[in-house]
Amino acid sequence: MKKISILGATGSIGTQTLEVIDYLEEEISVTAVTANNSVDLLAQQAQEFDVDYAVIMNQDHQEKLESLLAGTQTKVLSGLEGILKVATLTNIDLVINSLVGSIGVRPTLAAIRAGNDVGLANKETLVTAGQLVMSEADAHDVSILPVDSEHNAIFQALEGNQRKDVERIILTASGGPFRETSAEKLEEVTVDEALDHPNWDMGGKITIDSATLMNKGLEVIEAKWLFDLKFDDIDVVVHSQSIVHSLVEYEDHSTLAELGMPDMKVPIQYVLTYPERKSNELEALDLAQIGELTFEEPRTNSFPCLEYAYQAGKAGGTMPAVLNAANEVAVAKFLQGDLKFVQIPEIIAEVIEEHQVINKPELEDILQADKWAREIAEKVGDQCC
């Protein structure tokens, strides 16, 4: 039986992971679950899956969690220290990191250094510290298994083939809710409209990133590190149906794609059961019913975040961490109603323009760059609104 820790168990990926595990209960047991603030749901999950550890990041909720789990065998921990503890347990086989934000970097590195494989759904880990993380994974012979549907698709399309034969990869983007919205109308879009994704059920932050195309930009940077590619060998195409999850083109111009209904449980299950495949009751793909698949170039004039991500990735060093931090601040301000949708890329552009890149950074350099970028983005955001 495979034993796992789930970091971010109460979020979208975390809850879907537990749903998959519930179906595969004879294959996988949950050793630990963590949450940021959702103490009631965390306690419910801990009891349902009879976990050894439950960790609440917000230490103000520790006493309540202890009360909710009184009389169970679950040990309650809190804060980053608690998350690092369950990421480095010696009796687990896999850590699912579905934390949101740059807080996910430290647990990923800790898990790797403890020799635990990582199912990675935390984009910021590779965006901010890709070179460091992949170097550590190689040094400790640890597998990084991508949970995101696009990277999971590339991972599958590469299996049985040689990386040296890859010509390029093509990441598909849904285009979000504003794919056909004019530049003029983008000036007036609301938070509710931006959160209304046509295909995927995701958390708030990632849904806004999808609407701005920053999500795809972050995935480009992730793909560079996951698959050891040059940025010029990573393309993006808008595919509104979200059926083709991504493609790999080989040097003979054969192109392999992974297709399926837009359901995150499919890549989640593949990561959980890898290298095996297991049957499930998820919806099968019916191409005749889908009818048609369309593809188009991304509108980077209206959605410049994708280009900013390419620029930051090519600049390297601490620049991707700065891009990510500025985006997190801008998205938070938009969700709070303090910014217009179109001001998100404006803040990002100003912050990355001010940054002096540190090449080959250590973790502390990355964390300092992240902190600096957040402070500047807050300042710029306050001035522009």
Residue ranges of the domains in the chain?
2-147, 151-263+293-384
Instruction: Pick the range with the lowest mean pLDDT from 70-84, 191-205, 280-294, 314-328.
Output: 191-205
115 is in an annotated binding site: no
Instruction: Pick the range with the lowest mean pLDDT from 160-174, 188-202, 258-272.
Output: 188-202
CATH number attached to the domain at 151-263+293-384: 1.10.1740.10
122 is in an annotated binding site: yes
The answer, yes or no, to whether residue 200 has pLDDT greater than 70, is: no
What does the pLDDT read at residue 383?
83
Global pTM?
0.92
What does the pLDDT read at residue 328?
93
What does the pLDDT read at residue 84?
98
Crossing angle of helices 343-354 and 363-384, rounded to 10°: 130
10 is in an annotated binding site: yes
174 is in an annotated binding site: yes
219 is in an annotated binding site: yes
d(CA 150, CA 173): 9
What does the pLDDT read at residue 206?
82
Q: Could you tell me the pLDDT band of residue 140, with boundaries at 50, 70 and 90?
A: very high
Residue that is written with structure tokens 């961490």 in the block: 321
The answer, yes or no, to whether residue 202 has pLDDT greater than 80, is: no
- Region 240-250: what's the mean pLDDT? 97
- Region 67-81: what's the mean pLDDT? 97
148 is in an annotated binding site: yes
216 is in an annotated binding site: yes
11 is in an annotated binding site: yes
What does the pLDDT read at residue 26?
80
239 is in an annotated binding site: no
Q: Could you tell me the pLDDT band of residue 385, with boundaries at 50, 70 and 90?
A: low
What does the pLDDT read at residue 85?
98
d(CA 60, CA 116): 29
Q: Could you tell me the pLDDT band of residue 296, with boundaries at 50, 70 and 90?
A: very high
Crossing angle of helices 214-226 and 204-212, rounded to 10°: 100
CATH 3.30.750.210, domain 2-147, yes or no: no
What does the pLDDT read at residue 204?
78
Q: Could you tell me the pLDDT band of residue 25, with boundaries at 50, 70 and 90?
A: confident
Angle at 159 between CA 156 and CA 163, to 5 degrees: 115
Peptide bond into 275 cis (omega under 30): yes
What does the pLDDT read at residue 201?
63
- 2-147 and 151-263+293-384: identical CATH topology: no
* Rounded alpha-carbon distances, angstroms, from residue 379 to 342, 347, 351, 372: 17, 10, 10, 11
